[in-house]
Amino acid sequence: MKNIIAIHTTLANIDDARKIAMILMDQKLIACAQISSPMESIYRWQDKLETAIEYTLTVKTTEDAAQQVIAVIENNHPYDVPEVVGQRLTFSAKNYQQWLEAEVKYD
C-alpha cells in the first residue's frame, strides 16, 4: 500500500482554491479536495505584521504524486510565496486507501 499524503495551502478567495483543486482533479493527481471556511491568518511579510482572511485547500494524494501536486499548486497560486505544507497520514480505512490509490494516476 502507498502512503497517503495530505497537502495544505491557503488562498485569499474560494475561486482560487476551486481553480487549483479542479486542475489537480483534472490531472488525476489527487483523489479529493476540501476547501475550508474562511479563517483569519496572522503572519509576517516583508518585516510587517499582516492579517488576512483566507481559505485552506487540503488535497489527498499518494506520496509518489506529492511533488507533482506541489509543483501544480506553486505554478497556479497567486501568492509570491504560497504556504504549501503536508503530512503523511499514519492510518486510513482500508477501503478509503484502495479508493484513493485507484483515483490517483501518477506515472
What is the model's pLDDT at position 86?
Answer: 98
Q: Please tell me the distance from the alpha carbon of residue 90 to that of residue 78, in angstroms, as a whole number.
A: 31
Domain that holds residue 74: 4-103
pLDDT of residue 40: 97
Which CATH number is 10's domain given?
3.30.70.120
For the record, the C-alpha cell of 69 comes out as 501536486
Tell me, what's the pLDDT at 106? Answer: 79
Residue 1: per-residue pLDDT = 80
**Could you list the pLDDT tens digit for every one of the 107 residues in the chain?**
889 999 999 999 999 999 999 999 999 999 999 999 999 999 999 999 999 999 999 999 999 999 999 999 999 999 999 999 999 999 999 999 999 999 999 76
Count how many domains the chain has: 1
